[in-house]
Chains A and B, each alone.
Chain A
Amino acid sequence: MFPTPIEKRPRSAQITYQAFLPFALILWLLPLLAVALFSIKPDADFTNGNYWGVPSSFEAFTNYGKVFFESNMPRYLLNSLLITIPTVIGAVALSCMAGFALGVYKFRGNLLIFFIFIAGNFVPFQILMVPVRDLTVSMNLYDTKLGLVLFHVAFQTGFCTLFMRNFIRALPFPLIEAARVEGVAEWRIFLYVVLPLMKPALAALAVLIFTFIWNDYFWAVVLTQGPDAQPVTAGITEFNSQFRAAYHLMSAGSIVAALPPVAMFFLMQKHFIAGLTLGAVK
């Protein structure tokens, strides 16, 4: 193991390390802690210039109550959910199938198609912006959740296919050959042999895509406007103009907007990291 395990060091080094850890963590998360502090402060603290001191009173319930009951925030959150979940299902379904095709079969153009998926995934969004916006408008899907979902599904398919294909490649191929010898139809092989083995990959991708889509801002701004369809990342700016300079409310709103992917991460940590670090180890 590198660096040398701390247990093999002198006792003093161990104590220093253990003591330094929380200190480093606080330093690292300082901006976030500041926002958390902001969000429980009363309005008066900011007018009195008490930005960083101890809150003069504990107002978490009032502040978060306002976020949930006196703004469009719940609506934006719901929109985010209604955009994110169908996208996750769509992208994972499409890429499962594409990954199966590219990972199991040998045919002309296999590698070419695979590389087109990867390359498309690296492209800067901006080159897609004008045509995709135009296409969405012409399908009458501008400012709808469906318009956003369709695009997200298509774009995420690139990354997901890369992921799935590499995962399927690593599965034991004799299993598939054995099924073929038995005369099992190809689509049944997919459904009953490959798919059950892909559960960890499905979980990892689902969590990852959930976070990516929830946090998307660019496409939300390009393809939607207003509280009917906008997800929370775009909604937060409207929220902020509603409560201009009310730092206690803006920070409470930000924390609410950030929470779902954070919760997802902590609940599904193993899958999340497995997905993110795919390929980091050979």
Chain B
Amino acid sequence: MSSADTNRGWYKRNEIAITPWLFLLPAMLFFAVYVIIPIGQSFWISFHQWDGLGDKTWVGTANYERLLGIGDQNVDRKFEVSFWNNLRWLVLYLLAIPAGLFIALFLNQTVFGIRLYKSLFFFPFVISQVVVGLVFSWFYLPNDGLFDVITGWFGIDVSGGVLGNPNTATYGIIAAGLWPQTAYCMILYLTGLNAVDPEQVEAARLDGAKGRKMLWYVILPQLKPATFIAFVVTIIGALRSFDLISVMTNGGPFGSTRVLSFYMFEESLSEFGFRMGYGAAIAVVLFFIMLGFIVYFLWSMYQDEKGAR
């Protein structure tokens, strides 16, 4: 028997065991090099002082101590502002879920042209966040912006414009972010509503359920998968918020709109020199905030997987 034959024979015998690994290899390689290993590297870098070019200097937990104000130093003010803004984003961004459900219920009809209406309502999600940011920053222009014109009719005047005022700027940006996010949640719910079991609805109707009661006890339980996905994408979206802040205020005014993801970018690649170690430490903190959610998401999905067997 020639060696080619034995090779072939060995492969043939183990085909089912080997094939999946051959098919997985390229994806795993890419994913490891660009995603998995960098996570570990970021942890490592966060214990160093590094300008991104020269040698890394080991500083232990000094970056974290400075960040969180452990020991005799004060907590990093910029970090504090970013952290609270992140919480604002998280909480307020979740409004996209009920808002999306509301629009979906409004549009879940079969009148002439409704398909076009649905896609036009979904429109904001397809546009890049950079453009959404630009559009909203013009919308918020002091004095000349449409927002100021409209609020002016009611006698409200935000001094310095929405984005120029440290008290309102973050909320202005979150509102801009809610626009595409609501559209996303809407489409999730529209699809979910399509799959609601009509027999259950009819049965509930015969039992006299309608309106809010019907929604709460019959419809929402059936929309659970849609709600779960809406929740996942909204949380991730809130913690990833970067584009809008960068385009609309660039962290200002007076640093009041920074979030962790933006602050991290600023520290690592700022014009005042690269502070990669400190930036990595901020990223690690953000990662741990996210980790709580990731574990929850994965756990839910794992339960589903087990149920599927």
What is the minimal beta-carbon distance from A104 to any residue of chain B, in angstroms? 8
Which of B28, B138, B229 is the one whose CB lies under 8 Å from A34? Answer: B138
Asked if B52 is at the interface of the complex by the 8 Å CB criterion, the answer is: yes
Q: Are B123 and A127 in contact (CB under 8 A)?
A: no
* Chain A residues whose C-beta falls within 8 Å of the C-beta of B242 in the assembled complex: 125-126, 217-218
Which of A52, A127, A185, A273 is the one whose CB lies under 8 Å from B286? Answer: A127
Q: Are B20 and A123 in contact (CB under 8 A)?
A: no
A 255-277 to B, binary, CB cutoff 8 A, 1 in contact else 0: 10110011011100100010011
Q: Are B290 and A1 in contact (CB under 8 A)?
A: no
Q: Are A218 and B243 in contact (CB under 8 A)?
A: yes
Which of B42, B117, B236 is the one whose CB lies under 8 Å from A130? Answer: B42
Asked if B49 is at the interface of the complex by the 8 Å CB criterion, the answer is: no
Which of A94, A124, A151, A240 is the one whose CB lies under 8 Å from B26? Answer: A94
Q: Are A98 and B243 in contact (CB under 8 A)?
A: no
1-54 of chain A: CB within 8 A of chain B: 1-7, 14, 17-18, 21, 24-25, 28-32, 34-35, 38, 49, 51-52
Q: Are B41 and A131 in contact (CB under 8 A)?
A: yes
What is the minimal beta-carbon distance from A262 to any residue of chain B, in angstroms? 5
Total residues of chain B contacting the partner, CB 8 A: 104
Interface-side segment among A56-64, A67-75, A152-160 = A152-160
Which of A14, A101, A211 is the one whose CB lies under 8 Å from B21? Answer: A101
Total residues of chain A contacting the partner, CB 8 A: 100
Which of B24, B128, B146, B191 is the one whose CB lies under 8 Å from A273? Answer: B191
A sample of 21 cross-chain residue pairs with beta-carbon separation below 8 angstroms, ordered by A number, consists of A29-B120, A32-B123, A35-B134, A49-B144, A52-B149, A104-B20, A117-B31, A119-B294, A120-B31, A122-B297, A126-B283, A127-B286, A128-B34, A157-B30, A157-B31, A233-B243, A247-B138, A254-B135, A261-B128, A276-B187, A277-B229
Secondary structure at the B interface, as helix, strand, loop or mixed, is helix
Q: Are A1 and B198 in contact (CB under 8 A)?
A: yes
* Chain A residues whose C-beta falls within 8 Å of the C-beta of B130 in the assembled complex: 215, 217, 233, 236-237, 257
Asked if B163 is at the interface of the complex by the 8 Å CB criterion, the answer is: no
Interface-side segment among B69-77, B105-113, B166-174 = B105-113
Q: Are B128 and A124 in contact (CB under 8 A)?
A: no
* Chain A residues whose C-beta falls within 8 Å of the C-beta of B184 in the assembled complex: 276
**Residue of A with least CB distance to B180:** A215
Q: Are B187 and A273 in contact (CB under 8 A)?
A: yes
What is the minimal beta-carbon distance from B271 to any residue of chain A, in angstroms? 13
Q: Are B225 and A279 in contact (CB under 8 A)?
A: yes
Query: Max chain B CB contacts within 10 Å: which of A24, A101, A118, A237?
Result: A101
31-52 of chain B: CB within 8 A of chain A: 31, 33-39, 41-42, 45, 52
* Chain A residues whose C-beta falls within 8 Å of the C-beta of B246 in the assembled complex: 217, 221
Interface-side segment among B59-67, B87-95, B153-161, B258-266 = B258-266
* Chain B residues whose C-beta falls within 8 Å of the C-beta of A119 in the assembled complex: 294, 298
* Chain B residues whose C-beta falls within 8 Å of the C-beta of A110 in the assembled complex: 20
Complex: A211 Cα to B131 Cα, angstroms: 13
**Residue of A with least CB distance to B140:** A31
Complex: A269 Cα to B121 Cα, angstroms: 13
**Residue of A with least CB distance to B304:** A282
Q: Are B27 and A98 in contact (CB under 8 A)?
A: yes
**Residue of B with least CB distance to A34:** B146
What is the minimal beta-carbon distance from B278 to any residue of chain A, in angstroms? 10
Complex: A214 Cα to B298 Cα, angstroms: 28
* Chain A residues whose C-beta falls within 8 Å of the C-beta of B45 in the assembled complex: 130-131
Q: Are A118 and B298 in contact (CB under 8 A)?
A: yes
Other than the given A51-B141, A264-B126, 12 more pairs (CB < 8 A) read A2-B105, A7-B110, A31-B135, A31-B179, A101-B20, A126-B265, A127-B42, A129-B283, A131-B42, A214-B128, A257-B130, A276-B184
Complex: A24 Cα to B121 Cα, angstroms: 9
What is the minimal beta-carbon distance from A21 to any residue of chain B, in angstroms? 6
Complex: A4 Cα to B194 Cα, angstroms: 13
**Residue of A with least CB distance to B40:** A131
